[in-house]
A and B are shown apart, each in its own frame.
Chain A
């Protein structure tokens, strides 16, 4: 126990040390970077205080026996990102849950929010430590790249380090002041701290996103990589906002899934009915958060992809039609896993309600719909065949399955999958309630019409644009399809909420009355999210191919090749296992702090006063 307490106390200090390292590293290297490559300056660079991107050779990349620089940076970056996503996401929904608790004056929400933030507090220190590790690896293995980036982003790097101090201070005040700032004005102060924590955290992420997206879609530099001096132009590059949006949404989904796994483990280990009920509720809430963010996530992905195409059609085609095309089949398996696991958990959760029996018969249809949609998403366009198979098939595309391989079919599938999940959720909400409003039949008919018309519209748009128009317009249907799906989700939720206002409960919900099997769905969600993030991190980074900074700074290292999917999968899996091990450590530490051991006879008796 003493060890654990010691670790918990030491971690914040280590975090601060890492932040100082980031600060000093950026400050020390940045001035050099501006003049680092003066001898090879391009013509246009002579008038500028900034050097062009250096032209490197293999010898410019330090090698350390027993270490692969790229894998070291890759793992450190990915682990940092996993933890950062978690610790940035948790305060978002902690803030919301705390606000709900204040609004409803239901203390259970406040306790739940505290339990959530407790889980993330230790992870916060690990995030900073891993950030420091990433910085060290970058400086060691890619010194010229770091110098170049620090030359452009030195101001934002300094701000980043300073904001990190602010983030730490607010987080510790928010967490350690939870029980102190209770009631009346003090609670409002605490909630404001939560808001501030999110604002600073999100700003930190946006700054770091600027460095990453600059490497993908550089701006504020000329063709030789000479920086114009306009930091905002470099930050506000073509892919900055799309990545910002995608990461905020994905972080919430990921954070929800990790907290869900924590709750699932606590549920399985619980020894009393009260504990089971508490962690069942926590798991349900975490899953609800994860799914709420998962539903809009494909749309954020569309936006990002569209912006990648707009920035560079070549990059877009490399992403979707080049060597990475097969990665999306793996992604389909992962997303299918996520949707099936999330729905399975909801269906199992209906066991908490005595009224759910009315809806059980619909579950098999929803499961069938989701599986069909998953299979469509999973179907590849081009098949890898032997000559004999090619001859027998009459080409690389299967006559029936081939058309399912293109994007319009996938768009139909993913929208349908989202709508089936929405139906599952609506069914779960209704399971324990009986509406009392007079317009129940009209409301149900409207919802049925809404879903039917919406699905038909999505199907029609996808088929028409996908199979009866020019290639350029093949994905033109995606925006109206997305709008249709969002409209159905919003409209049906509004109708459902109004219809079930003042509804009678069939019986009190039995929190804790859920199978152990369902908890494994929550673990599956967490592992699949983690692995998916790792995989998509690989593709985002690999899109640059043999460039450190697309088109302006060539990667000349021995590792300037794009690894195969199998190679990437190995690294992602290794990273995921390390992450899971660290997360287990974090969960354990968060439990240990609540344990007390009475060491009888260890301490000398206090002298009588």
Chain B
């Protein structure tokens, strides 16, 4: 009997040691909960928020950093993805159909084998097949809006122009009652200008306005859409002569819905 007790005590001690080591010998990492589809409201997001959403997906649900990180070296670094896209689309090995940087980046997410960066192909395929899964399927399964957000993030990361338009009818998953009360989107540019009281500072088209900001009556004749978009989002980036910097609020990027921004830019660009 004494042998029996000794053996039992010995076995329990061994088990206790293994358990203790698992608790105290290694860090207790709480694995992330199952990912959920990111809610993207119909136009209820600024482009900055959309880029930030892309970064969140890139670092989290998209599982991109598992391979695209500076340590592992399992997949190409993406800091220059937007710039490299132009060269890669001209490469003889390119088998995709993209015509722009945005299309290329989108294609690389859903058809990763369209272009495989040298040295990163599956073993034995001579860099013709990518080990990367289709991000719109499988366990990652990003929605259309999420894919677009990642593309926007990659464009922003590379320092190229963010050309992605926020999808207006995709991925609207969150229920209205779950959201805090939000401003109803404006129906057109005139309503938007009225809501934000732009004419308090600017003269816009036929509408009378104050002299605090530049006259925008024929702004489309001298400035293109990209300039106008930036002027709204980052008003202090290029302040016209004779006007004081810091007067126009720099918060419109957060206040305007993406669709509103585009409507407003198109309206201003047409004022010629």
In B5-24, the 8 Å CB interface with A consists of 7-8, 10-12, 14-16, 18-19, 21-23
Give complex CA distance A362, B22 in Å: 34
Report whether A573 and B19 are in contact in the complex, using a CB–CB cutoff of 8 Å. Answer: yes
- Range, interface on chain B: 35 or more
Interface string of A560-591 (1 = CB under 8 A from B): 11111110111011001100100010000000
Report whether B26 and A580 are in contact in the complex, using a CB–CB cutoff of 8 Å. Answer: no
- Range, interface on chain A: 35 or more
Known: A551-B138, A566-B23. A580 touches B74 (CB 8 A): no
Report whether A317 and B18 are in contact in the complex, using a CB–CB cutoff of 8 Å. Answer: no
The interface residues of chain B lying within 8 Å CB-to-CB of A560 are 34
Known: A322-B66, A565-B28. A333 touches B21 (CB 8 A): yes
The interface residues of chain A lying within 8 Å CB-to-CB of B67 are 313-314, 317
Report whether B133 and A314 are in contact in the complex, using a CB–CB cutoff of 8 Å. Answer: yes
In the complex, whether A472 has a CB less than 8 A from a CB of chain B is yes
The interface residues of chain A lying within 8 Å CB-to-CB of B246 are none
Known: A333-B21, A560-B34. A317 touches B74 (CB 8 A): yes
Give complex CA distance A318, B25 in Å: 21
User: How would you classify the secondary structure of chain A's contact residues: helix, strand, loop or mixed?
Assistant: helix
Interface string of B50-76 (1 = CB under 8 A from A): 000000000000010011000011100
Report whether A545 and B73 are in contact in the complex, using a CB–CB cutoff of 8 Å. Answer: no
Give complex CA distance A384, B34 in Å: 24
The interface residues of chain B lying within 8 Å CB-to-CB of A204 are none
In the complex, whether B126 has a CB less than 8 A from a CB of chain A is no
In the complex, whether A61 has a CB less than 8 A from a CB of chain B is no
Give complex CA distance A269, B27 in Å: 42
Known: A313-B132, A561-B33. A326 touches B18 (CB 8 A): no
Report whether B119 and A470 are in contact in the complex, using a CB–CB cutoff of 8 Å. Answer: yes
Report whether B3 and A268 are in contact in the complex, using a CB–CB cutoff of 8 Å. Answer: yes
Whose C-beta in chain A lies nearest to the C-beta of B34?
A546
User: Within the complex, what minimum Cβ distance (angstroms) separates B142 from chain A?
Assistant: 13
In the complex, whether B100 has a CB less than 8 A from a CB of chain A is no
The interface residues of chain B lying within 8 Å CB-to-CB of A95 are none
In A344-364, the 8 Å CB interface with B consists of none
Report whether B72 and A471 are in contact in the complex, using a CB–CB cutoff of 8 Å. Answer: yes
Report whether A569 and B19 are in contact in the complex, using a CB–CB cutoff of 8 Å. Answer: yes
User: Within the complex, what minimum Cβ distance (angstroms) separates A337 from chain B?
Assistant: 8
Known: A313-B74, A527-B11, A564-B29. A569 touches B66 (CB 8 A): no
Report whether B34 and A545 are in contact in the complex, using a CB–CB cutoff of 8 Å. Answer: yes
In A514-556, the 8 Å CB interface with B consists of 520, 523-524, 527-528, 531, 545-547, 550-551, 554-555
The interface residues of chain A lying within 8 Å CB-to-CB of B22 are 330, 565-566, 568-569
Contact residue among A265, A317, A330, A528 (Cβ-Cβ distance under 8 Å from B14): A528
In the complex, whether A68 has a CB less than 8 A from a CB of chain B is no
The interface residues of chain B lying within 8 Å CB-to-CB of A334 are 18
Contact residue among B21, B66, B133, B138 (Cβ-Cβ distance under 8 Å from A321): B66
Report whether B26 and A329 are in contact in the complex, using a CB–CB cutoff of 8 Å. Answer: yes
Give complex CA distance A520, B7 in Å: 8
In the complex, whether A189 has a CB less than 8 A from a CB of chain B is no
Report whether A566 and B28 are in contact in the complex, using a CB–CB cutoff of 8 Å. Answer: yes
In B154-211, the 8 Å CB interface with A consists of none
User: Within the complex, what minimum Cβ distance (angstroms) separates A281 from chain B?
Assistant: 19
Give complex CA distance A512, B16 in Å: 31
Report whether B3 and A265 are in contact in the complex, using a CB–CB cutoff of 8 Å. Answer: yes
In the complex, whether B251 has a CB less than 8 A from a CB of chain A is no
In the complex, whether B120 has a CB less than 8 A from a CB of chain A is yes
User: Within the complex, what minimum Cβ distance (angstroms) separates B118 from chain A?
Assistant: 11
Known: A269-B3, A317-B66. A470 touches B73 (CB 8 A): yes
In the complex, whether A368 has a CB less than 8 A from a CB of chain B is no
Give complex CA distance A387, B119 in Å: 35
A-B residue pairs in contact (CB < 8 Å), sample of 28: A223-B137, A313-B67, A314-B63, A314-B139, A317-B67, A322-B66, A323-B29, A323-B31, A326-B29, A330-B21, A333-B18, A470-B119, A471-B73, A527-B15, A528-B14, A545-B31, A545-B139, A550-B139, A551-B139, A561-B31, A563-B31, A564-B31, A569-B18, A569-B23, A570-B19, A576-B15, A577-B15, A584-B8
Beyond contacts A314-B133, A317-B74, A472-B120: 19 other A-B pairs, Cβ-Cβ < 8 A, are A312-B139, A330-B21, A384-B27, A472-B74, A520-B10, A527-B11, A527-B14, A531-B14, A545-B31, A551-B137, A551-B138, A551-B139, A561-B33, A564-B29, A564-B30, A565-B22, A566-B23, A569-B18, A573-B16
Could you tell me which A residues sit within 8 Å of B by CB distance? 223, 265, 268-269, 312-314, 317-318, 321-323, 326-327, 329-330, 333-334, 384, 470-472, 520, 523-524, 527-528, 531, 545-547, 550-551, 554-555, 560-566, 568-570, 572-573, 576-577, 580, 584
